[in-house]
């Protein structure tokens, strides 16, 4: 079946550190993945996406890595800031704009 999960429910880092949030997916046929950030009381905010024909994609302070061999996705945040504190979700696209989300990882950034 389709499922997207995360290894760590909570990640605590110090301001300025680099953060790595991991995600495992089970549907090897999925060809599109998205990372979202969700702050309390708000809708998920798009961060970065990657297609299965890529291994790495970089944005502003964020990098997504895709390892299709082990069906693993990660989000790297450089120089983490207190404003990065939120719940992060990976999502897998299964076509027709249907996304399958994991349960999320809470990132806590201490000053």
Partner 1 sequence: DAGVTQSPTHLIKTRGQQVTLRCSPISGHKSVSWYQQVLGQGPQFIFQYYEKEERGRGNFPDRFSARQFPNYSSELNVNALLLGDSALYLCASPAPGRSTDTQYFGPGTRLTVL
Beta carbons of 64 and 35 less than 8 angstroms apart = yes
Distance in angstroms (rounded) separating the CA atoms of residues 64 and 54: 10
Residue 64 makes contact with partner 1 by CB under 8 A: no
Residue 89 makes contact with partner 1 by CB under 8 A: yes
Residue 102 makes contact with partner 1 by CB under 8 A: yes
Q: How far is CA 26 from CA 1, 30, 62, 100, in A?
A: 7, 9, 24, 11
Residue 103 makes contact with partner 1 by CB under 8 A: yes
CB nearer to partner 1: pick between 45 and 58: 45
Query: Rule CB under 8 A: which residues touch partner 1?
Result: 4, 32, 34, 36, 41-46, 49, 89, 91, 93, 96-104
């Amino acid at each position: 079946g389709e499922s997207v999960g995360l290894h760590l429910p909570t990640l605590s880092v110090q301001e300025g550190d680099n953060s790595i949030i991991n995600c495992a997916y089970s549907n090897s046929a999925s060809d599109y993945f998205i990372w979202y950030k969700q702050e309390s009381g708000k809708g998920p905010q798009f961060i970065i996406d990657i297609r299965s024909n890529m291994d790495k994609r970089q944005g502003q302070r964020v990098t997504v890595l895709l390892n299709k061999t082990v069906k693993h996705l990660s989000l790297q945040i450089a120089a983490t800031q207190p404003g990065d504190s939120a719940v992060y979700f990976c999502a897998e696209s299964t076509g027709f704009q249907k996304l399958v989300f994991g349960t999320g990882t809470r990132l806590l950034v201490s000053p």
